[in-house]
Structure 1
Amino acid sequence: MSNLPARILVVDDAPLLRGLLIQVLQKYGYEVAAAEDGQQAIDHFIKCRPDLILMDADMPILDGVAACARIRQLPEAKYLPIIIVTSYQEREWVDRAYAAGATDYVTKPVNWDVLRNRIHYILQAKHSEEALFDEKEKAQVTLASIGDGVITTDAQGQIEYLNPVATKLTGWFNEEAQGFSLSQVFALIDEINGQPLEFPLNECLAAGKTVEIVKDSALLHRDGVQKFAIESSAAPIRDRDNTIIGVVLVFHDVTENRKLTQKLAYQAKHDPLTRLYNIHAFNVQLESVLQNQQVAETEHALLFMDLDQFKIINDTCGHDAGDQLLKKVALVLEKEVNTHPTFSKATLARLGGDEFGLLLECCSLESALEVGKHLCERIQDFKFLWTNTQHEKGIFTIGISIGLVPVTSTTVASQKSLMAMADAACYAAKNAGRNRVHVYQESDAGTDIHWVSLINDNLERTNGFSLFHQAILPLYPTIGKPKVCYEILLRMNNLQGQLVSPGAFLSIAERYNLMSTIDHWVVYNTLKWLTNHPDYLEKLTLVTINISGYSLADNHFFDILVQNLQQFAVPPRKLCFEISETTMITNFARVLKFITTLKAQGYRFAIDNFGSSMSSFTYVQDLSVDFLKIDGTLIRNIAKNSISYALVKSINTIAHLMDVQTIAESVETQEMFDKLKEIQVDYVQGYYLDKPKLLGNVG
């Protein structure tokens, strides 16, 4: 509110009264201007905009009532106080003055105290009205500017106001929506099935509490076509007596966010190539079935499917052809499964590579066998046509081997054990001639199940596995503090307490998808041991840990690895991850991403078992690796085979040109050691130099 004196226009054709009014009002502290008739009053208002007009009723040219009516027609005078000074007191005249827009009137002779108080309270009311108007205008500008939709209703739920965002989302303009019920304007529907939903307005009005909108709801536009995923809440509006006088509904468009959330949720459960469920989602569903199986005595069936002859097509025509084949096979399997009504629910997934899983719920063994046989027939009838970059065409036929495990109320097995049993049955189907269904028998698993069970048990118990380390020695002495470098090696304890080398169990772990779990165990416990032995960590130069190709193919492995690296305070420069040459070639994209991401944080990398082909250097050029570990088969022949010697020398020379250091593994004799000194590799490792030693039983 301004501190300047209010400006009053006095309008009177009588000089004496006009002068007296001016004198009195100035005495009261007002700034006063004068006019002699109604027309002058209009002209002065347009030019100067006074805060109040005090105008005589009876004047020549244009009387006060007529002038009042004309001034009131001006948009700027909508809230202008106009007081008529008159000697008339008849009811008809008073009604005419108010009808013309007079705010009030005073009679002649003028009572100065009455005039003073009347002007004071009218101006005070005007200032309050202006302040309210300003606040209302600010509120409306705010409501028009925010990104949320806002709707207000009265106590009966009838629309009073919509802001522009609400208009955009509902399709209703503010003026036309007023008086309609909220449900007519704010049309909620179920986002999934499109059925109408009722907003809990009555709960908000009756209970007087804030309510949230129903989950997975959408707002249907007035056109009946557009719909917006929204999040919303409604709160009661209360007056100064705490009486509920309406509701304010606030909502915003979350269509893009919800699409993104749904997309991420979909990607977390589905294989990106085939669009089928992935192995994680499949295992979750299988685990759920097993949990419910303990309560409900129903039959289910688990089918493990492996394509026959897929490797031939993949190797002959390339990975693009392999990917296209997998996508088409997925469509064939999905279509065939959907034609069979002999189960309540089917979960079809790509488990990895050319392996698929099918879980049939509430399905008998006989029905599952029938489904499996039809799948074999459909895949056998399927013809895969491929045209290469030279426009050469080829038609291929494949088969599918299926292992079937019935899941009944008597089944006592974990999810991992069931998958192992189904895998074993699938291998039995392959061994029996391929493209057939084989129902799991106890004899199928043989020693595999024993090893799978032993691996799983050892992963759960303390001291089930042991970590060993073997020195990696610099071939030439270094100046200053000696380098302390080791490779971490894994051993497993059998039930008799004897140590089992990796060669005995890693192939089983690979077949039954246990490699990423084992790699996690090795990384976690190595980091934990180093953190718990700070003196050893201080003098350590480098420790290398092997990461399998199966782990790199696991979408969840990297996230868990990063969590482990963040959990333990091991300097990145002291950790080196070994990746085999085969993994580098067959899964180059994932290897590149893995190395690039962690290399930026300071971790180091080695390509293990390097040397099968000189063309592998093409891949190494694109990878920022620190070491090449030359394959042991070349090293073991280096002293007696000139070709092996030449190959090792060439690898070492090219590696040094690429600023990559070399490590010769499997050094077992003095002769090998001497030859490596001639070639001038950087590091050596092997039983001749250092036998693996126990790092510590950890778990």
Structure 2
Amino acid sequence: MSYVRQLKQCGLPAHLKLVQVAYPDVVRVDLLDDTGKLLASSAGKGAKVLPASDYSLTHTVSPNEKLDLTFCVRVRGTLGDLAPRLPGYLDNIGAQIAAELTLRLELDEMAEELGERYEELNLVYKIKQSVDAVSDDRVAMTLSLQQLVDDCATFLNVDVAALIMPGKQLAVASGVVGDDEPDSGIIETLQNAVISSGQAIVINKPEDAKRIGIEGQLEHILICAPIPSPNPRLRGLFVIAQQKCKGREFSNSDRQLVEIQAEMARKIIKQRYDTATGLVGQGELISRFEAMLQEDKARCSLLFFHFNHLKLITDSFGYEVAGRLLSAFAEMLDDYAGEECVVARINHDEFVIAARGLDTKAAAESVLQRIEDINENRHIVPAGAEFSVNVGSVCDDSSLESVSDWLTAGEFAASLAKDNSFERLHVYSPDDSQLQKRDSDVFWLQNVKTALMNRDFRLYCQPMEALSDGPPHYEVLLRVIDDDGRVMSPAKFIEAAERYDLIPNIDQWVVEEMLSLLAQYKIADVSPESVWSVNLSGKSIGSRDFHHYLLDVLNKNSACNNRQLCFELTETAEIGEMESALKLITEVKALGAAFSLDDFGCGLSSFSYLKEIPVDYLKIDGSFVKDIDSNGVNRSMVKAMASVGKVMGLHTIAEFVETGAVRDLLKDIGVDYAQGYFVAKPVPLDGVLKDIQSAAAKTGRGR
């Protein structure tokens, strides 16, 4: 009998005691299995089977086909009238034991299944935790798509694992190939079903396949999970396959594990590709082009494309049209490029083709001609939205060592093509006189890096005057200390810092230093109503890294109340990722901080920005403000801008207030704040904070 352990858990002694309770003349009841082994006895532990002659009655019951139990009963005296009644009662006891045994067996089976399920879920949970812990920005540094597919095939012990991106004609596979590979028609049907539904599919049986349109006998069981992306060209699927002859069926846990692998693949793809255009990003370009240069530098070449007037097109026609033009241009470059080419978008308006054996002049001319064809397509390009590019061509040059050198040379050549109104293409040469300007940028770039490293920046502050009832408002400004200890405006190296993407680092330093000083002088206590405004560059606002940094800082901020902070966004700033920028602005405002639109009115996009960016302050550009006492046109412009701000519920600030007459007119117009040399000149921030703290101490505030 294979149920001895379970039987002994069924409370057999209690069942046997019931016989004695029902029939007091019964002095002992033993229960034997089908081999004659004692299972239980009413005589208690340690009892042994008696000789057969010592039992008054032996009765065998078979409550089911797998169970034979023998009751051995000893009574006081003779059976007498118990003989006809006792067997029936023993049958009932046997049925109860059988029912409990059945329940025990079912519970054991459920416990075993739950144990297995727990182990599976625990494994899924641990893997998912490890995937979730890997940020989108880090995953590509540690894992390749091929490695991911190989690891999946090994971990799940399947014949085939594959990642397929139809829009990029990309397939990465691992495992058995050849005759054992799933039919290509089946893969195509899976692509359509999974990508359109957005859900994982498990195919263990023919009816599973029929539901998605696969007819006929499958040689494999399959799991297919989608790899989503906002860009159709980057959508794909992760599939595993196992031959049916191996007798395996994929479980729900297998499906979850494949979905987790698909999520990891999504993170890798997101990091390596630009989701707006479907092209690879700068990091992937650098990795691939480095390999090209190491393998055959003499045959390498590079085309650098600068997409002209992207901001103007966006402001005039909206983000949808601008996105459509970028996508059309990117798709054209991708389709044109050959197998030995890498096409990348490295900035919001900069594209690169890095290649081996490419006739760059012919390629550039072909691209320029194709742009003309795109511009004639009114389904893509509305009238007036025609676009152009400038192209920098770079071929092998002994002075170019790193990928960074090649990209800098390409960008430089493209900028020269832009300066030449008659040519859209410029071939890089190290002898170009304009290299001096680039070298000047590099000089200032080194100064910026040194200042960041040595903390040679200083924060200044320019107080504003409230022209109506309003809290004290200050703008925090950046200054640089040169080698002689003199204070300089950062204007001389801002252009270089923006060109080489160091502006977010500078903005980060400014935010950190400002909060440090506000905390040092306990501004949250001594001047809780004051507002401190600081400029952020468009590149910082559109940067994902800066996005994460700023939200983290505000969530942990103890220097002041977040509502005391205001971030200024210059209207003329180029914001690379507007969707990301709007998301950051919304999340920062949700944490209590405010936003101001600086230099309002000086660009073509003023009112477009107001509609799209949820700001709290409107800062009227000083070019309109400074002479409103003598220039009627500018005075009318300022009135109009102030009226727009009032209608939209925004606070207005006027810059460049240099005379009392201008200040008085602004007050009459209804502007809320005046800022300029008449009100106050910029002074060191720590001095202003010290004065505020001292004034508060005299009144006993902030103690």
The answer to whether the 8 Å contact 2:29/2:71 transfers is: no
1:448 — aligned with what?
Answer: 438
2:127 — aligned with what?
Answer: none
1:262 — aligned with what?
Answer: 265
**What per-residue deviation string (whole Å, max 9, x for no partner) do you get for residues 632-670 of structure 1?**
111112111123223323333442343322211111112
Distance 2:270 2:511 in 1: 27
Return the offset for 1:321: 3.9
In structure 1, what residue type is equivalent to 2:554?
L
Given candidates 655, 667, 676, the residue that maps to 2:645 is 655
Distance 2:445 2:381 in 1: 48
1:425 — aligned with what?
Answer: 413
Distance 1:128 1:320 in 2: 70
The answer to whether the 8 Å contact 2:348/2:576 transfers is: no
The answer to whether the 8 Å contact 1:488/1:545 transfers is: yes
In structure 1, what residue type is equivalent to 2:114?
T
1:530 — aligned with what?
Answer: 518
2:495 counterpart of 1:507: yes
Instruction: Find the residue that maps to 2:653 and give its secondary structure.
Output: strand
Return the offset for 1:320: 3.7
The answer to whether the 8 Å contact 1:188/1:196 transfers is: yes
Given candidates 341, 349, 355, the residue that maps to 2:344 is 349
Distance 1:581 1:220 in 2: 55
1:235 — aligned with what?
Answer: none
Distance 2:384 2:610 in 1: 33
The answer to whether the 8 Å contact 1:399/1:434 transfers is: no
Alignment RMSD (CA, Å): 5.0
TM-score by length of 2: 0.62
In structure 2, runs of 5+ residues without a counterpart are 1-9, 32-50, 74-93, 123-153, 163-171, 178-200, 206-217, 226-237, 239-250, 688-703
The answer to whether the 8 Å contact 1:8/1:30 transfers is: no
Return the offset for 1:196: 3.5
Q: 539-548 or 666-675: which moved more?
A: 539-548
After superposition, where does 1:229-378 map in structure 2 within 5 Å?
252-253=254-255, 254-282=257-285, 301-307=301-307, 319-339=319-339, 341=340, 346-360=341-355, 363=356, 367=357, 370-371=359-360, 373-378=362-367
In structure 1, what residue type is equivalent to 2:655?
E
2:563 counterpart of 1:561: no
Distance 1:656 1:338 in 2: 56
Instruction: Find the residue that maps to 1:688 and give its secondary structure.
Output: coil
In structure 2, what residue type is equivalent to 1:523?
V
Distance 2:323 2:261 in 1: 30
Return the offset for 1:471: 1.0
The answer to whether the 8 Å contact 2:325/2:381 transfers is: no
After superposition, where does 1:20-31 map in structure 2 within 5 Å?
26-28=26-28
Instruction: Find the residue that maps to 2:461 and give its secondary structure.
Output: strand
Given candidates 154, 161, 176, the residue that maps to 1:196 is 176
Given candidates 457, 460, 474, the residue that maps to 1:465 is 457
The answer to whether the 8 Å contact 1:372/1:437 transfers is: no
2:635 counterpart of 1:645: yes
TM-score by length of 1: 0.62
After superposition, where does 1:367-406 map in structure 2 within 5 Å?
367=357, 370-371=359-360, 373-382=362-371, 383-385=373-375, 398=388, 400-404=390-394, 406=396
Distance 1:639 1:252, change over 3 A: same
In structure 1, what residue type is equivalent to 2:260?
N
After superposition, where does 1:508-657 map in structure 2 within 5 Å?
508-534=496-522, 538-539=526-527, 541-570=530-559, 571-582=561-572, 589-612=579-602, 616=606, 620=610, 624-657=614-647
Distance 2:23 2:579 in 1: 94
**What per-residue deviation string (whole Å, max 9, x for no partner) do you get for residues 362-404 of structure 1?**
x5xxx46x24542332332441156669997799684541242
Distance 1:624 1:83 in 2: 86
Distance 1:489 1:9 in 2: 93
Q: Percent identity, aligned pairs only?
A: 23
In structure 2, what residue type is equivalent to 1:378?
V
Structure that is richer in helix per residue: 2
Distance 2:281 2:550 in 1: 20
Distance 1:537 1:456 in 2: 40
Return the offset for 1:413: 6.5
Return the offset for 1:349: 1.2
Return the offset for 1:527: 2.5
Distance 1:696 1:589, change over 3 A: same
In structure 2, what residue type is equivalent to 1:503?
A
Distance 1:374 1:302, change over 3 A: closer
Distance 1:599 1:8, change over 3 A: closer
**What per-residue deviation string (whole Å, max 9, x for no partner) do you get for residues 594-652 of structure 1?**
32211111101111112358995575466543221111111112111123223323333
The answer to whether the 8 Å contact 2:571/2:603 transfers is: no
Distance 1:126 1:310 in 2: 81
Distance 1:307 1:581 in 2: 20
In structure 1, what residue type is equivalent to 2:460?
F
In structure 1, what residue type is equivalent to 2:601?
G
Return the offset for 1:266: 1.4
Distance 1:497 1:640 in 2: 40
Return the offset for 1:147: 8.9
In terms of Rg, which structure is larger?
A: 1
1:93 — aligned with what?
Answer: none
The answer to whether the 8 Å contact 1:55/1:82 transfers is: no
Instruction: Find the residue that maps to 1:80 and give its secondary structure.
Output: strand
Distance 1:682 1:403, change over 3 A: same
2:37 — aligned with what?
Answer: none
Return the offset for 1:407: 7.0
Matched length: 525
In structure 1, runs of 5+ residues without a counterpart are 11-21, 32-53, 57-63, 86-121, 151-182, 198-217, 232-248
Distance 2:102 2:491 in 1: 88
Distance 2:317 2:408 in 1: 31
Given candidates 428, 440, 453, the residue that maps to 1:439 is 428
In structure 2, what residue type is equivalent to 1:189?
V
The answer to whether the 8 Å contact 1:636/1:667 transfers is: yes
